[in-house]
Amino acid sequence: MRGRTYITVIELTAPPHDLDGLDGYVQVQVLTRLHGTPIGMVTVPIRNGHVAAASLMTEVLDHLRRPIIRHLLQDLLASPAAAQAPRADDLVQVAHPTGTETLPSMTVAVCTRDRPDDLARCLEALERSDYPGLDVLVVDNASRTDQTAQIVRDRFPQVRYVREPRPGLDWARNRAILEARGEILAYTDDDVMVDAGWARAIGAAFARNPEVAGVTGLVVPYELETDAQVLFEENGGFGRGFSRRWWRTGEPGVPRWTRYGTGAYGTGANMAFRRSVFAHIGPFDPALDVGTVTNGGGDLDILFRLVQAGLTVMYEPEALVFHRHRRDYETLRRQIDNNGIGLVSFLVREALAFPHERREILQLAKWWVKHYAFPRTAIALMRPGGIPRDLVLGEVLGGIVGLGRYHAARRNAARIEQEHGPQIAGAFQPATSDAALITTERAAPLLHLVPDPTRPGPDVPHVPDAVALPDAPTPATESSIAVRLVEIASGIQPITDVAGYGWTRVEVLRHGRPLGFFQIANGYQPISTERLIDEITDHLGATLLESAYSRRRDELEQEAVAAVRRRFLPAGRPRDADIPGPPPSVDVSVVVATRNRPDDLLRCLESLTRLESPRTIEIIIVDNDPASGLTPPVVARFPGVRLVSELRGGLSYARNAGVLASRGAIIAATDDDVIVPPNWVENLVRPFARPDVMAVTGHVLPLELETASQQAFEAYGGLGRGYDVREFTSGWFAWFKRQAVPTWELGATANSAFRASVFADPRIGLFDEGLGAGTPAGVAEDTYLYYKILKAGYTLAYEPSAWVSHRHRRDDGALRHQLDAYSAGHVGYHLTTLFGDGDLRGLLHIVIGLPRGYIWRVRERAARRSTYPMSLLLTEVRGHLRGPWAMWQSRKRVRRLGHSSPTGTTTLPGLAAVSPSATPAPDVRPAGAVPRTDASPG
């Protein structure tokens, strides 16, 4: 759900510890590392401000067991232990290999403008870097004050500072090219905190992969304190996963345009290059990225030009940084808008610079429209509750705006260059035609570094050209595949003699015995040891373990999983599942709405007064027909039970009256024809120990099955929802693309509970009084409430241990009336989501889903796979057909009778009153919700 999320990092080999003091957070996001390597992110629920170490580790091991085993197998292949076939228990004891490669010299450039506080955090993190002789350079990009210079001078004297007067991020990046002293030039942003091993991971990636020209890394959130920051992550964030990957053009069978989607490679907040490559591909384009009207695209462009020139880009997740996302929604919205502008500006730029690549660039643009922009727009318009529509539409509209932005940005960059003079010769050539922008493919002239008399320090030393542009491949034949043997017992070595082949088949052996094979699209490049280890692990996996020849692979994987759990799961530590629900100080109100069913109400109250709980339980009975006089005598037999009267007929009106009269922080709800066990309340409220849970439903068992009608109702589906604990989140809500969200499967309000605060949330509010028993629409007020809760980003939990027994309708007429109301209300629910929430999935369900369901049920009955009576099915069809008319009548009725309000008032005052015999409520406030009590259907 959206809400404050606590970010923490754990190392699996370190002793786990409990997390306490998390009040105010809804969940913990755990970045998990093994031997320092990031292997995944796991979200763990918080209960009562606490996460037990055992629960945290259980969640981590359940979700990341395969990445953990993969990492351990990679360590195995990189160590002498690969000569033997270890058992699963031995695998977790394999030592993590330490790097012995010689690291290249490195300059880290931080480009900044008027963000001194962010810059200080960034430089503090860089100070902790584990890298010999790291050269840190701050490029102050036309800041309006001298605060940046003061911070560097006063707090970070070891950091080099240079001011770049030309405004624009890519001008600052190009200045870093001029100022850099290292073989590797790494870039990060001022709102980033680098991991202590970030620079070493980048340097090692270049050292181990000599063919690699550029490296990007993993970006995870530094904090998720605001809804805007959570939304940015939901929208994709900067993360690109936890698996190492390589990209280059020229791989046989891979269209060039698929390699030009450089947004998948990484982000400018975490990228590094061999400094020599800029002499081949040119500098950053100052008409792109922050500080220009394009507002982005500079990182996409430089990565594009690398792969377009035939060079290799590597994504290394061990190069980890933490990014501080935008905290407020308006800034986030502008950022998302600019993503669209920057992307299309980047595509326009490449089409102008590389006219012979325009077909591929157009293919990439078509893919973006067809597979990204159009589906996201359609989903945003069709179903609410996911990424806000204004963010989705803003990014798409930004793409349209971006079609004209690059030309304006070029003119502005030319003006800046005329004003300040050239920065790098050939960096930006004002041209008479758009096509004459920059270098030609694979033939860029070497850059000339233009001395700047205002720049302190010596001229930049010459950096050897470590990466040469690859020549056109000369394969033996166009379809040739190299075959190479890799003996893991003697240590895996790089394959360097496959430059004439686009693909290589690798046969893996241990002591001469074949284990398996796979093919690598090496694209006429050598294959590094690192890549071989990754591929062997991915393709052979558990085959590397002992006895793989005589046992099934899934058995070996299960043994490895068990060994991992024994190694990393703390024994004898309590889990959060063992922690009780909310503390006893959290009071509960139980609301029962009733209408002229004194016998049922008497049985219900007898069970409610036997509830066992350490907390205060308030029982409220809402009389929905006070004029009959049938309910007060029953309530009077139970001292302490409050009686509330609601004159307006209808279950939702009655429930809302109970909600508004309740004092409890949690409101449990049941019906007057329900019997509850003594532990019902405690089992029902236990999931509320998690702050993200706003609603809980429980299992509903039949009290009796004495008649054919009661049995038919169970065959229809009853009110129970199974015996497994489940939870339903905003992710579940968004999962349904072209299908209505089946909130009717989440449970019944005959057995439910809600946080009091949920009804004060303007996105949710009270029960919809146009739905429910006693209205023409019939039912579905509970279904729609669940819908709104999930749409708002909250969680609904189903807890089967909180069971109740329901007395179904005994006679055929009552059952038919009930099913007719259910069917009409079901249509009413979908019409409500359609017109009230703009959810087009409801319309699809009415016109397609329901007819298809009826046809299937008729076939099941004809094939005698179902005993459900056809007469009842016809009753359902009739109810569905009258649903639109019934919904219209219900809305007219609400306009006449008025709406209840979370403030406790109604549009027609005086219709809800507390009985004089009831204990007055000194602090009546919005509270929880009431179940589907049945005045008619239920």
Q: pLDDT tens digits for 304-317?
A: 999 999 999 999 99
The mean pLDDT of 476-505, rounded to a whole number, is 88
Q: Which residues contact 394 (CB under 8 A, 6 or more apart)?
A: 333, 336, 337, 340
The pLDDT assigned to 904 comes to 55
Which class for 81: exposed (0-12), middle (13-18), buried (19 or more C-beta within 10 A)? middle
Find out whether 46 and 23 touch, Cβ atoms under 8 Å: no
DSSP conformation letters of 422-455: -SEETS----SSTT-SSPPTT-PPPPEEPP-TT-
**What's the average model confidence in pLDDT over 318-340?**
95
Give the separation between CA 661 and CA 657, rounded to whole angstroms: 6
Q: Specify the residue for token string 């939870």.
A: 727
In the chain, % of residues over pLDDT 70 = 88
Q: What is the pLDDT of residue 475?
A: 52
Amino acid code (one letter) for 725 = V
Residue 478 has pLDDT above 70, yes or no: no
| 433's tokens | 């035609």
The values of phi and psi at residue 305, to 5°, are -70, -30
Residue 425 has pLDDT above 80, yes or no: no
The terminus-to-terminus CA distance of the chain in angstroms comes to 31
Range from 572-586, 624-638, 863-877 that averages highest in pLDDT: 624-638
Name the nearest CA neighbour of 826 among 928, 716, 732.
716
Contacts with 334 (C-beta within 8 Å, 6 or more apart), sequence order: none
- Predicted confidence band at 476 (pLDDT cuts at 50, 70, 90)? low
Indicate the SS3 state at residue 808.
Answer: coil
- Residue 653: which H helix or E strand, with range? helix 651-661
**pLDDT value at position 857?**
87
Q: Report the distance separating Cα 460 and Cα 449, nearest Å.
A: 8
Phi, psi of 456 (to 5 degrees): -75, 160
**Distance between CA atoms of residues 801 and 725, nearest Å:** 8
578 is written with which tokens?
């063992």
Answer whether 131's CB lies under 8 Å from 106's CB.
yes
What are the φ/ψ torsions at residue 497 (nearest 5 degrees)?
-110, 40
Q: Using alpha carbons only, how large is the chain's radius of gyration in Å? A: 33
Q: What is the Cα–Cα distance from 681 to 572, expressed in whole angstroms?
A: 29
Q: Tokens 């299908």 appear where?
A: 739
Mention every residue, 6+ apart, whose C-beta is less than 8 A from residue 691: 3, 24, 25, 26, 46
Could you report the per-residue pLDDT of 896-907, keeping only the tens digit for each? 999 998 765 554
- Mean of pLDDT values over 413-433: 66
> What SS3 class is residue 488?
helix
Closest CA to 819 of 872, 857, 776: 872
Per-residue pLDDT band for 727 (boundaries 50, 70, 90) equals very high
Closest by CA position to 806, among listed 713, 880, 726: 713
Task: Mean pLDDT check: name the lowest of 91-95, 119-123, 429-433, 660-664.
Answer: 429-433
In contact, 862 and 753? CB cutoff 8 Å: no
Residues in the chain: 938
Q: Give mean pLDDT, residues 230-249.
A: 91
The conformation of residue 210, written as its DSSP 8-state character, comes to: T
CA distance 71 to 473: 34
pLDDT at residue 1 in the model:
52
Please tell me which residue, 551 or 231, carries the higher pLDDT value. Answer: 231
Model pLDDT, residue 617 = 97
Q: How far apart are CA 29 and CA 44, in angstroms?
A: 6
Q: Give pLDDT, residue 460.
A: 36
Phi-psi region of 396 (alpha: psi -120 to 50; beta: other; left: phi over 0): alpha
Cα(752)–Cα(742) distance, rounded to whole angstroms? 17
pLDDT beyond 80 at 935: no
Residue-wise pLDDT for 104-120, tens only, equals 999 999 999 999 999 99
Burial category of 550 from C-beta neighbours within 10 Å (exposed 0-12, middle 13-18, buried 19 and up): exposed
Residue 368 has pLDDT above 70, yes or no: yes
Predicted local confidence at residue 46, as pLDDT: 92
Half-sphere exposure of 800 (CA within 13 A, CB side): 9
Q: What is the DSSP string of 877-926?
A: HHHHHTHHHHHHHHHHHHHHH--B-TTS-BSSTTSEEE-TTSPP-TT---
Mean pLDDT within 548-552? 56
pLDDT at 572: 67
Q: Which helix (H) or strand (E) holds 862?
A: helix 850-862
At 461, is the secondary structure helix, strand, or coil? coil
What is the spatial distance between Cα 705 and Cα 809, in angstroms, rounded to a whole number?
A: 10
Write out the two tokens for 23: 């009040």
Note whether 768 and 785 are within 8 A (CB).
yes
Integer CA distances (angstroms), 117 to 152, 302, 426, 533, in order: 11, 29, 35, 42
Strand pairing class (503-510; 513-520):
antiparallel
Q: What one-letter code names the amino acid at 714?
A: E
Q: Where are the alpha helices (DSSP H) in 92-213?
A: 116-127, 147-155, 169-179, 198-208
* Confidence grade of residue 84 (pLDDT, cut at 50, 70, 90): confident
Contact at 8 Å (CB) between 307 and 206?
Answer: no
**749 near 698, Cβ under 8 Å?**
no
Q: What is the pLDDT of residue 545?
A: 77
Structure confidence at residue 574 as a pLDDT band (50, 70, 90)? low
- Report the interhelical angle of 812-837 vs 708-716 (nearest 10°): 20
pLDDT (tens digit per residue) in 166-215:
999 999 999 999 999 999 999 999 999 999 999 999 999 999 999 999 99
pLDDT at 919: 32
Write the pLDDT tens digit of every residue in 748-776.
899 999 999 999 999 999 999 999 999 99
Closest among 312, 200, 308 to 256, alpha carbons compared: 308
Alpha-carbon span 527 to 642, nearest angstrom: 77
3-state secondary structure (DSSP) of residue 932: coil
pTM: 0.83
Least confident of 369-378, 436-445, 774-783: 436-445
What confidence tier does 384 reach under pLDDT thresholds 50, 70, 90? Answer: confident
Q: How far apart are CA 806 and CA 703, in angstroms?
A: 5
For the stretch 772-796, pLDDT in tens is 999 999 889 999 999 999 999 899 9
Residue 278 Ramachandran class (φ > 0 left, ψ -120 to 50 alpha, else beta): alpha
pLDDT at 528 over 90: yes
pLDDT at 81 over 90: no
Per-residue confidence band for 578, with pLDDT thresholds at 50, 70 and 90: low
Amino acid at 68: I
pLDDT at 220 (0 to 100)? 97
Looking at residue 576, its pLDDT comes to 63
- Cα separation, 752 vs 930, in Å, equals 7
- pLDDT for residue 453: 36
Q: Over the chain, what is the mean pLDDT?
A: 87
Q: What is the pLDDT of residues 263-295, one digit of tens each?
A: 999 999 999 999 999 999 999 999 999 999 999
Half-sphere exposure in the Cβ direction for 132 (13 Å, CA) = 6
Q: How far apart are CA 262 and CA 347, in angstroms?
A: 11
CA 499 from chain centre, in angstroms, equals: 41
